[in-house]
Amino acid sequence: MKTANRISGLPKYVGGKPIDELQRELGIDKPIKLASNENPNGPSPKSLEVLSKSILDVALYPDGDSYHLKRKICDKENVLPDQIIIGNGSNEILELISHAFIEKDDEVIMGEYCFIVYPIVATLSEAKIIRSQMPNMTHDIQNIIDLVTNKTKVIFIANPNNPTGTKVPKASIYDLLDSISSNILVVVDEAYCEYLVENQRMNASKDLAKWKNLVIVKTFSKIYGLAGLRIGFAMGDNEVVDKIQKPREPFNVNSLAQSAAVAAMDDKEHLEKSFQLNNSGMLFMKTEIVKMGLKIYPSHANFILVDFGCAARNIYEELLKIGIIVRPLENYNLPNCLRITIGTQVENERFIIGLKEVLGVLR
Ligand SMILES: Cc1ncc(COP(=O)(O)O)c(C=O)c1O
């Protein structure tokens, strides 16, 4: 009975509508999906090449310790293998953190407009969720510090944040770490950090040496273009990582994902191209959306939060009818907003034309 209550209280994760589903439901030819913050540039050609070879290995279990990927991450981040955990998407790691560190009635702090998986995993552990304020859709670090009590166990912060796209300077995350007890785990989720310039991102090697209670989470689902393979990782103090590893299933990350991720990290050209495509697309989208008189928030990721000033559900539905999938945000308590992923230039233009059409019809 207790379990049933816990499960029924879970916030619902509603993903972006799959392209195939829209085709099936509305018979629409060639819809575009700007709903899940994937890389419109696709995977790295180097990943594709490795995948075609690794496919022959699928009869075998994968390396349960992701040996080669961990070494690749060590080279890039200057950390040791036992400071790394690889997950079936970074979502899995967020859940493992909850299993390992959060107990019933612990307090877990997260922003009022935070990634929905944080309240899901905290609820699974029967924790008390404490929401920090987000003025102008941005984390308020001082407010987070003020909310800390002797029951606080974990603080989750995505930087840049999803679904708002806003960021806080890394110096304010350092302030947070300096201000709180080292018994509190601070999870900095950098799913979108590759869209920042390098010195704005956390420095795993230095930061983890200084704060043993810091965990940095990253993913291959965004700029690396491997969302469908489900692979992400986290770095922390080796004792912390050891605890997070405990509830992990032995072969949680498949072999195709592991080898594609290694190759993706080697493909600097693909990363640079994807970064530039996002920059130019972001500029185009911001300019065009502002021209329409709509409110946007400063975004540092690969998506943009648009505030329509009234319920946005029918705009979302009208866009679907013309084959454009974006993300409604009622479950994030932002019913007036839609989150739009930056696509290719062709997709961005189709979105802008489509949005003008829809707004014209609805007015
Ligand atoms: C902030 C944030 N963290 C984590 C994830 C999960 O990514 P994945 O499980 O695909 O690695 C996402 C996905 O959208 C995200 O936005």
Give residue-wise pLDDT tens across range 255-306.
999 999 999 999 999 999 999 999 999 999 999 999 999 999 999 999 999 9
> 3-state DSSP call for residue 192?
coil
Closest Cα to atom 7 of ligand 1: 90
Alpha-carbon torsion angle 170, 176, 182, 185, nearest 10: -70
Q: Tell me, what amino acid is at 134?
A: M
> How far away, in angstroms, is 1 Cα from ligand 1 center?
31
Q: Which residue has the tokens 């062709």?
A: 346
| Token pair for 146 | 């003020």
Q: Per-residue DSSP letters for 316-362?
A: HHHHHHTTEE-EE-GGGT-TTEEEEE---HHHHHHHHHHHHHHHHHH
Strand partners, 324: 32
CATH of domain 2-42+269-362: 3.90.1150.10
Q: What does the pLDDT read at residue 117? A: 97
- Compute the distance between CA of residue 191 and CA of residue 219 in angstroms, rounded to an integer: 5
36 CA closest ligand 1 atom index? 14
Q: What interhelical angle do 345-362 and 313-321 show, nearest 10?
A: 120
Ligand 1 centroid – CA 169 distance (Å)? 20
Position in ligand 1 atom list of the atom nearest CA 161: 1
pLDDT of residue 14: 78
What's the CA-to-centroid distance between 36 and ligand 1, angstroms?
Answer: 9
Ligand 1 binding pocket, CB closer than 6 Å? 37, 89-91, 115, 158, 162, 189, 191, 219, 221, 227, 232
Distance 15 CA to ligand 1 centre (A): 11
Residue extent(s) of CATH 3.40.640.10 domains in the chain: 45-267
Ligand 1 center to residue 191 CA distance, Å? 6
Assign residue 196 a region (left: φ > 0; alpha: ψ between -120 and 50; beta: otherwise).
Answer: beta
* Residue 187 confidence (pLDDT): 98
d(CA 91, CA 84): 15
pTM across the whole model: 0.96
> C-alpha distances in angstroms, 178 versus 59, 144, 213, 285?
49, 13, 11, 38
Q: Where in the chain is the domain with CATH 3.90.1150.10?
A: 2-42+269-362
Task: Answer whether CATH 3.40.50.720 is correct for domain 45-267.
Answer: no
CB 108 within 8 A of CB 154: yes
- Long-range pairs for 128-135 at CB < 8 Å and ≥24 separation? 134/161, 134/164, 134/166
**Rounded distance between C-alpha atoms, residue 203 and residue 195, angstroms:** 15
pLDDT at residue 4, as a whole number: 57
* Residue of minimum CA distance from atom 15 in ligand 1: 191
- Residue spans of the chain under pLDDT 50: 1
Atom of ligand 1 nearest to the CA of 90: 11
Atom of ligand 1 nearest to the CA of 94: 4
Ligand 1, atom 2, residue with closest C-alpha: 191
Quote the distance between the C-alpha of residue 224 and its chain's center: 13
Q: What is the pLDDT of residue 322?
A: 95
Q: How far apart are CA 251 and CA 320, in angstroms?
A: 38
| Residues 90, 191 contacting (CB under 8 angstroms) | yes
